[in-house]
Amino acid sequence: MPEDAPETLLLTGTVGAGKTTTAFAIGELLQDRGIPHAVIDLDEIRRQWPHPPADPFGEAVQMANLRDVAANYRRAGARRLVLAGVLEDQDKRADFARALGGTAPVVCRLAVELDRVRERLRSRHEPGAAREWHLARSGELDAILIAGAVADHVVPVAAEAPSAVAERVLAEVGWD
């Protein structure tokens, strides 16, 4: 991997696009290649209830946690950080840069057909309100991410194993 490659990769995409699964698969590839790294699932560092009404996804606490977690991983030797989460607009990209000590992450969006996303969401969630929320949100957020065009890279994903998607993301962002 080139030394001047960006340190942090943010995988974005609509709900159920495979951000978390692909981030974990990228971690395995980096391990196979002997590259010290850390994987951060952003959902896990904002898993608090309740969030403030003006911040329904808990992005403020997510960013505060990211600053500390990223710094700790770096101190512990991570040379690459892989983040899984949602990036909707350019302003929020600046929030990521601040949390990461000044350097913005390279952003890669996983583009998955909505029928495939919805099939995945039906197997990830039992029938109920959470499933219905995610099914409805999948199309809505997909449209927001396409219109916002914030990603530096877009990787289309069809019927492929997570390891294959991970390989393509690494090649696309120059981490191979």
Ligand X SMILES: Nc1ncnc2c1ncn2[C@@H]1O[C@H](COP(=O)(O)OS(=O)(=O)O)[C@@H](OP(=O)(O)O)[C@H]1O
Ligand Y SMILES: Nc1ncnc2c1ncn2[C@@H]1O[C@H](COP(=O)(O)OP(=O)(O)O)[C@@H](O)[C@H]1O
What residues line the site for ligand X (CB under 6 A)?
15-16, 43, 57, 59, 86, 88, 130, 134, 141
**Residue tagged 């996303």 (tokens):** 117
> In terms of CB distance, is 34 or 123 closer to ligand Y?
123
Residues in contact with ligand Y by the rule CB under 6 A? 13, 15-21, 84, 120, 123-124, 160-162, 165
Q: Provide the token pair at 171.
A: 């090649």
> In terms of CB distance, is 51 or 74 closer to ligand X?
51
First to last CA, the chain: 5
- E-state strands within the chain: 8-12, 37-41, 80-84, 106-112, 153-157
Interaction partner, residue 88 (ligand Y, ligand X, none; CB < 5-8 Å by kind): ligand X
Task: Say how far residue 80 (Cα) sits from the centre of its chain.
Answer: 14
Contact 106, 173 (CB under 8 A): yes
CA separation for the pair 161, 152 (Å, rounded): 23
Distance in Å, CB of 37 to ligand X, minimum: 21
> In terms of CB distance, is 73 or 142 closer to ligand Y?
142
Distance in Å, CB of 72 to ligand X, minimum: 22
Distance in Å, CB of 164 to ligand Y, minimum: 7
